[in-house]
Structure 1
Amino acid sequence: MEKNTLIGFVLIGAVLIGFSFFNRPSSEEQAQMQHYQDSIQALVEQHEAKQAAQQQLAMQQAAAEDSTSLLFYARQGQESVVTLQNNLVELKLNTKGGRVQSAKLKEYNGQDHQPLVLFDGEDAGLSFAFNGKNENIRTDELYFVPEQVTDSSVVMRLPMNGGGHLDFRYVLHADSYMLDFTMEASGMEQAFAPSVKTVDIHWHQRARQLEKGFSFENRYTSLSYKVKGEGSDYLSETKEETTEVGEPMDWIAFKNQFFSCVFIAGQDFNNTTLKSVPQAEGSGYLKNYDATTTTFFDPTGKQPTRMQFYFGPNHFKTLQATNDLAVDGKDLEMEDLVYLGWPLFRWINRWFTINLFDWLSGWGLSMGMVLLLMTIIVKAIVYPATYKSYMSSAKMRVLKPYVDEINKKYPKPEDAMKKQQETMALYSRYGVSPMGGCLPALIQMPVFIALFNFVPNAIELRQQSFLWAPDLSTYDDVINWGVHIPLLGDHLSLFCLLFSVSNIINTYIMMKQQDTGANPQMAAMKWMMYLMPVMFIFIFNSYSSGLNYYYFISGLISIIIMMVLRKTTDEAALLAKLEARMLANKNNPKKRSGMMEKLAALQKEQERMMREREERERGKRR
């Protein structure tokens, strides 16, 4: 550092020190400043003391008011848990709110291989609100006293100041998932106006993700409900929805794919508002459910309010049996929680598929073998229709040379009507209907769709392994790359891949047997038919492996049937038979195909109308 610079820094420091010395406060000024700070501190302490005194006074006044409150004792309780259980379910009831706090199913496991918990803690809540004469009652803020406790029953008593109480009586049925719930007032007539006849209910729950596949489970998770005297309905599975139901209702269900929490009204739910809000993938939850409603309440206690809960599996016959436990003897139709498709498909599943599945399951076989045998039996039942459809295609195939001659005869596009008319006449002479293969295929379709609805809802497949699939109720991800790919996900289901490959082979066989020559429209249809099995990889990749396995086996059996029929069908003999029929039809026109005659007549009529239209247009131009 230069000498001049050093001298400059020393001078600046000296000036600053001197300025501080000459401007420091005197001892009198320092005393005044200290006195000012002490005064401020005293004011702050006085203000804090005043606030504390006001709070203490408010607390004393509140205590004085509470001591005369109807709910004084109900606010002084302590939170504790009472457990009710049987061999199927364990329920924990909390004295705060007197509600069911958690539900555990003993015969089913979660993804952690521990007994499955439907809800616990803050995942769910239930509150009853009563409009009192002087003060309202909200049960979720109050403490109940457990009495008459057994392994399967308890009375949650809400004591009232000055006598009287409100009882919540819970009774768990033996060997059942049904919990009876009775609400009864005693000595509380003076607390309510004579006009009070109802109680308001708020029930909410976050539906946990209980299965491996979020998107597949989410498709079958919905808030469902049943209107009295009508069938059940449900809110959207994919978007937020709120609905108001003005009609009386029998029950409200917070439903997952395989399990449900159902709140059942003994004296109807009225003025109900239901809301379902989907949750984000990865949150551990599927939906946020919320229901507000009202039901009957008698403040005099002469008639109790009767309700029920069902915490259990969506198993068709279990739900049917539970209907018999309804408090008023009516048919709750809770089996509707197992979605089996539209009415026709539901009828097939209810009276055929479920009984066949249960019969095969009773043999003690693995679920994979049960699905295999069920597929074989279904294929055997629809075989007559399959055979008829194949023979119709075979007849069209042996007549193909005659059709090719007609195509050569009318190569021009303007002769399309004549070509089609002559082709129909050909089929009519030989007694063959191009539509003969469509009707048998349509007959098989309802069974195919019925099983599409049954398999994903069959709780029996849940956590049942077969071959490489550890759980037939969800996708198998033997091929997993761990990175999400749009439309495909982070895995490739092997059963889905096998199903798609078998579908491609099946499509190839079908196209070969229906080949009617070079036709641009037919070529485009072929591409579409081959494209669909490829699209199935993206559509069904997240579906249950049980469903993909069923489709794979069904497609494989179809391939075998087509190959056997092709080998055993003598097409030369079939053509000779058609030639003989053609001669018979030529001598007796009444034996011709009725449908073909009608189509030919319709085409002739269309051709006549076209000629008349052309003549009118030529006349106008003249």
Structure 2
Amino acid sequence: MDKNTVIGLLLIVAVLVGFGYYNSTFQPQNPSQAVVQKTANQEVSNVAERKDARKEALVIVDSTALFYKQLSVTDTASHDYVVLKNNNVIVEINPRGGTIGNVYLRNYTSYDDFHEGKKIPLHLYDGQNASLNFSFNTSTGVLNTSDYIFETVDQKDSTQVTMRLATGNGTKLDLRYCLLSGDKYMMNVEVVTFGMEKYATTQTKNLAIDWSQKIKQHEKGYDFENRYSSLTYKLTADDTQMLSEIQDDSETAEGPVDWVAFKSQYFSTVLIAPVSEFQGLSARSRQIPKEAKNNDAGFLKDYNVKMEIPFDVTGTKATQLQFFFGPNSFNLLKSMDADKVGEKDLDLEDLVYLGWPLFKWINRFFTIYVFDFLTWLGLPMGIVLLLITILMRIIVYMPTRKSFLSSAKMRVLKPKVDEISKKYPRKEDAMKKQQEMMSLYSQYGVSPMGGCLPMLIQMPLWIAMFNFVPNAIELRQEGFLWADDLSTYDSIWDFGFHIWGIGDHLSLFCLLFCVTNLVYSHMSIRQQRDSMSAEQAQQMKMMQWMMYLMPVMFFFMFNTYSAGLNYYYFISLLASALTMWYLRRTTDDAKLLAKLEANYQANKNNPNKKPKGLAARLEALQKAQEAQMEARRNRQK
């Protein structure tokens, strides 16, 4: 590996370090997430069947004066949640406001419950820490659904219900819910009025939506889960936008919006405008620190959005909405278009961030297909990652071999390069020396830039996997070797206290990755020294030390990253080191030099053979600089 290869490597590593830094947070450690206490013998189905009697401050008003009285909290009353359920989702509708009270995912559980061996449905949406209010203008003021108690009507089965707000004079506001049956994650919602046009004003054109939710910590590591949780929305005429994952953020959408997602690392609650669009969206995301106590303990972020959607107060046309409650699985989200109400594509798969365009396409059209096929075979996730690594090594083997042979050719020509260096000891002869070296390489058929190609191929694959692995929900709660969950960090030593830059634990997979990186760096530096002149080696010392320093930096970056990602990087670097060792053992320097001498003899009749490609451009540039220096000397004379 020559100088140009090392420079290319360092530039690419710098990109990787910068990318890792961008995705990192520097916040103190979070206490354990507060979880709901349940008895050990509680079955999953109990959640669906229970109806808690909840005492809340409710608005009690005379129904005949519903729109003429300033509402105030005057009484308390008990009310039961309305339960909708299918094979995957349990939704509890709160009569207070007529909107969603709780959502559970039946086939998933939090890390704490998983670690304790409990099969309790994951509490995705908690009405105690979330709110959803619909409001619109009337001739007597703004009507807020959260101020009223809705009546349950037309509950045909466990998937459909209508929540109604009615007055004695026939005016009604209905919120109709239909949870799709079977293995679905979508729920359709209609907002429709009857007889309310007499209270309409010129401003009664839009239904305002005010939606908030605190996002619970469901995974083991706060830092890693928080890094991949973000309030996300889809612009109708543009791409998906995300608020900052690592700091408080707020913004106003620059146009109509198709959907808004309250997203954590592996799960999302998405509010969709399937027919029309949301207008005037204002979004806010607040970080909840790890050390937060009381009402904020056990949460990652606090999301809020305010927006409007067209609303027909006459009741002729219902305002249609959809909710998605489920996992951030790329193929699952993509399949949600089959359940859409309108004509436009939902593009919910954009919730699974696959990286910048180049890396996104690698993941979209290579990694996902390979990963899904290997997962379909029923292989353990550790073996799946191992096989993906082997496949990638096969893909880059020929470029890697070509790169190694390029460095080997320069190594066997090193004595001749040293002779040229001795021939031009003065600094002012540096250009002549470089030109003669380039001519030497050209005559022997050696490309000094040949070592860069594998890096140009391998680094996009590395960065693509950097984006894919943390978003692969298939790794969630899948164990391998000593790691009980490949989606979060593995710990072989819990310190019991926080250390700046490391955290409160030591990850063995991260340690193996960094040690292997050191070994691979040492092998690369040794190969580089063998192909350089003494002068070049002296000039490259600083870069070589930087190559040794990178694995140490990676340790501080990746100790809190997922075990799956560190495991992949470990076996990938190990495969690279073994490949380099194999090529070194199977390369005969004597035969290689004989082949180069044959090239030289073939070019002997053309002693003025010019370099090609980049080497030719470099030589032309050097000659131009030499001509400029000569002209300057003539002017001085």
Same fold by TM-score greater than 0.5: yes
Query: Residues 361-395 of structure 1: CA distance to partner in whole angstroms, max 9, x if unpaired?
Result: 11111111111111111111121111111111111
Residue of structure 2 equivalent to 1:501:
515
Shift of the 418–164 alpha-carbon distance from structure 1 to 2, 3 Å rule, reads: same
Per-residue deviation, 1:248: 0.8
Per-residue deviation, 1:514: 1.7
Shift of the 609–534 alpha-carbon distance from structure 1 to 2, 3 Å rule, reads: same
Residue of structure 2 equivalent to 1:228:
236
Query: Residues 74-104 of structure 1: CA distance to partner in whole angstroms, max 9, x if unpaired?
Result: 9998532011111111111100011111111
Residue of structure 2 equivalent to 1:370:
384
Distance 1:215 1:615 in 2: 65
Distance 1:191 1:246 in 2: 32
* Corresponding residue SS for 2:431: helix
Distance 1:464 1:222 in 2: 24
Shift of the 591–246 alpha-carbon distance from structure 1 to 2, 3 Å rule, reads: closer
Q: 1:568 aligns with which of 586, 602, 615?
A: 586
Q: 1:121 aligns with which of 123, 127, 131?
A: 127
Residue of structure 2 equivalent to 1:309:
323
1:96 paired to 2:96: yes
* Corresponding residue SS for 1:193: coil
Shift of the 246–536 alpha-carbon distance from structure 1 to 2, 3 Å rule, reads: closer
Q: Which amino acid aligns with 1:70?
A: F
Q: Which amino acid aligns with 2:175?
A: F
The structure in which a higher percent of residues are helix is: 1
Residue of structure 2 equivalent to 1:35:
none
Q: 1:277 aligns with which of 279, 286, 289?
A: 286
Report which stretch shifted further, 64-73 or 181-190. Answer: 64-73
* Corresponding residue SS for 1:207: strand
Per-residue deviation, 1:491: 1.1
Report which stretch shifted further, 594-603 or 457-466. Answer: 594-603
Residue of structure 2 equivalent to 1:143:
149
Distance 1:307 1:398 in 2: 70
1:614 paired to 2:633: yes
Q: 1:344 aligns with which of 358, 376, 380?
A: 358
- Answer yes or no: is the 8 Å Cα contact 1:70–1:160 preserved in 2: no
Q: Give the greater-gyration-radius structure (CA).
A: 1
* Corresponding residue SS for 1:205: strand
- Answer yes or no: is the 8 Å Cα contact 1:171–1:181 preserved in 2: yes
- Answer yes or no: is the 8 Å Cα contact 1:345–1:450 preserved in 2: yes
- Answer yes or no: is the 8 Å Cα contact 1:500–1:534 preserved in 2: yes
CA-atom RMSD, angstroms?
2.0
Q: Which amino acid aligns with 1:191?
A: Y
Shift of the 63–478 alpha-carbon distance from structure 1 to 2, 3 Å rule, reads: closer
Per-residue deviation, 1:332: 1.0
- Answer yes or no: is the 8 Å Cα contact 1:240–1:278 preserved in 2: yes
Per-residue deviation, 1:417: 2.2
Q: 1:160 aligns with which of 167, 176, 180?
A: 167
1:237 paired to 2:245: yes
Aligned ranges 1:179-578 → 2 under 5 Å: 179-266=187-274, 267-282=276-291, 283-515=297-529, 516-518=532-534, 519-578=537-596
Distance 1:64 1:406 in 2: 98
Shift of the 306–611 alpha-carbon distance from structure 1 to 2, 3 Å rule, reads: same
Per-residue deviation, 1:574: 0.8
Per-residue deviation, 1:148: 1.7
* Corresponding residue SS for 1:411: coil
1:602 paired to 2:608: no
Distance 1:346 1:414 in 2: 48
Query: Residues 129-170 of structure 1: CA distance to partner in whole angstroms, max 9, x if unpaired?
Result: 111112321001101111122211111111124212111111
Give the length in aligned residue pairs: 557
Distance 1:595 1:73 in 2: 79
Distance 2:60 2:164 in 1: 23
Query: Residues 234-269 of structure 1: CA distance to partner in whole angstroms, max 9, x if unpaired?
Result: 111111111111411100111101111101013110
Distance 1:409 1:531 in 2: 35
Give 5+ residue unaligned stretches, structure 2: 1-58, 115-119, 292-296
Distance 1:431 1:246 in 2: 56
Distance 1:615 1:524 in 2: 38
Distance 1:257 1:517 in 2: 50
- Answer yes or no: is the 8 Å Cα contact 2:363–2:468 preserved in 1: yes
Distance 2:613 2:481 in 1: 52
Shift of the 246–442 alpha-carbon distance from structure 1 to 2, 3 Å rule, reads: closer
Q: Which amino acid aligns with 1:555?
A: L
Distance 2:565 2:173 in 1: 51
* Corresponding residue SS for 1:608: helix
- Answer yes or no: is the 8 Å Cα contact 1:341–1:450 preserved in 2: yes
- Answer yes or no: is the 8 Å Cα contact 1:72–1:160 preserved in 2: no
What percentage of residue pairs aligned between the two structures are identical? 51
Q: TM-score, normalization: structure 2?
A: 0.84
Shift of the 406–397 alpha-carbon distance from structure 1 to 2, 3 Å rule, reads: same
1:68 paired to 2:65: yes
Query: Residues 489-531 of structure 1: CA distance to partner in whole angstroms, max 9, x if unpaired?
Result: 1111000000011111111111111211333321111100010
Per-residue deviation, 1:70: 3.2
Per-residue deviation, 1:577: 0.8
